[in-house]
Amino acid sequence: MSEDITKPDPKPEIEDARIPVYIMGKRYDVPPSLTIMKAMEWAGYVLVRGVGCRGGFCGACATAYRLQGDPKLYFGLACQTVVEPGMYLAQIPFFPAQRASYRIEDLAPQAATLFSLYPEVLRCLGCGACTKACPQELDVRDYMAAAMRGDIAAVAQKSFDCIMCGMCAARCPAEEAQYNIGILARRLYGRYLAPRSEHLERRVDEIIEGIFNADIETLMAADEAELRRRYNARDIEK
């Protein structure tokens, strides 16, 4: 009769020390290496809202939090901010702020456009609360000052990296929607004020003429291995 030998379980790995965080008012002990988003999922939350690209670009996971013993209110993106002991947090998947309705084709690239669609821009106090709240560390106060001057190009350039998370509006005592004002300026600048790209216009014309149709059909018919080969062999501009 053969002997049934059961091998002992391998020695379990020593788990990382857990740290306490408070999610929506409830305490959870989570691994200290997690981001806020991963800590919420580790604690059992299924994120339906307040989650997007997970790469720090879309702004959907704006989070406000405080640290135990520190009265300051902090802001960050849940997918990028690592948890800290005694963190009290709540996500803000969407901050309600006025967004004007318009057709960019019907607007003129001038100060009056900004002021008519967003008259609250003239209420800016220059307090800097918006700048302190920005997880991208943009100088929101600076581009709002440009908006008050009607300098659309400056607003567009200085707000270019805005990810529309809404944290600036959440902290504004003048109840402005800075991020909506910024995107209006970028749209006006892109359509009317930015120098036209001749190279881009030529390429669009070529696409309309069908010059690349055969190449596109070849790519569509290629398998993954061929696509990888073509990708790795592509010309890369130095």
pLDDT of amino acid 15:
52
- Which domains does the chain show, CATH number per domain? 19-91 (3.10.20.30), 104-193 (1.10.1060.10)
Give the count of beta carbons closer than 10 Å to the beta carbon of residue 168: 31
> Taking residues 147-168, what's their average pLDDT?
94
Q: Residues with Cβ < 8 Å from 213, sequence gap 6 or more?
A: none
Residue 5: pLDDT band (50, 70, 90) is very low
Cβ(170)–Cβ(133) under 8 Å? Answer: yes
Q: What is the pLDDT of residues 197-234, one digit of tens each?
A: 899 999 999 999 999 999 999 999 999 999 999 999 98
Which CA distances in Å does 178 have to 6, 14, 63, 123, 134?
66, 48, 18, 12, 11
Report pTM: 0.68
Cβ(188)–Cβ(155) under 8 Å? Answer: no
Strands (DSSP E) along 15-69, which ranges? 19-23, 26-30, 62-67
